Amino acid sequence: MKSFKFALLAAGVTLGALATSAEAATCLTSDVSGASSCSGYVAGNIFSNGGGNPNTVTSMLSGLGFDASGIDFGALYSNTGLKLSNLGGATTLSFGGAPELFGETFIGIHWGGQGGGQSAIYKLDLTNPASVIEILGKNPGGTSNAVLFSTTPFNPGGVPEPATWALMIMGFGLVGATMRHRRAKVSFA
């Protein structure tokens, strides 16, 4: 009887360890170039129109510091510029709806595979504008689809317009003329 109880206890401990290791699977920032943090893996494709889970996505984005309360997930998931489908294991992502990704950027990736695969959301801190994001993860399912939730618009500063140059030159001329006109005359008594 004691050996039966011991075997049952050993089986319970083994199953508990297996369940813990399955639950402990988390995304890695090394999956995506520029990622500073991530949330996931969550079983299945949480980014699809039909089977998506907005509550889970909102919770994951909030955990990464992004307020997702105003997102219309139906519109987002049907926008082909912001959602990439049928990636077939692609190792780069390029979102047509946002040609320049910059600063704090949030993307979701569904990694395909048996049993529906898994999904994760990544926060990227891009110090230089990028039109392509590299997938570095060696997830056996490969990339299936991706969603761009947010990026900071890139404003390079650029070269001033000709009218701005003209106005600036006139301003300098006016300041120079005023300084020349106001020279104090020195007189000796």
Q: What is the pLDDT of residues 138-159, one digit of tens each?
A: 666 788 889 988 887 666 666 7
Extended strands (E) in 50-157 = 83-84, 92-93, 101-111, 118-130, 133-134, 143-150
Of 10-14, 40-44, 173-177, least confident by mean pLDDT is 10-14
At 167, the pLDDT band (50, 70, 90 cuts) reads confident
Predicted local distance difference test score (pLDDT) of residue 12: 41
Predicted local distance difference test score (pLDDT) of residue 14: 36
Asked if 183 contacts 117 with a C-beta cutoff of 8 angstroms, the reply is no
> From CA 17, how far away is CA 13, in angstroms rounded?
6
Predicted local distance difference test score (pLDDT) of residue 155: 67
| Three-state secondary-structure class, residue 148 | strand
Strands 92-93 and 101-111: unpaired
> From CA 29, how far away is CA 91, in angstroms rounded?
15
Q: What is the mean pLDDT of the chain?
A: 78
Predicted local distance difference test score (pLDDT) of residue 35: 92
Predicted local distance difference test score (pLDDT) of residue 69: 85
pTM of the model: 0.68
Q: Which residues contact 37 (CB under 8 A, 6 or more apart)?
A: 29, 64, 122, 123
Residue of higher predicted confidence among 159 and 62: 62
Predicted local distance difference test score (pLDDT) of residue 37: 94
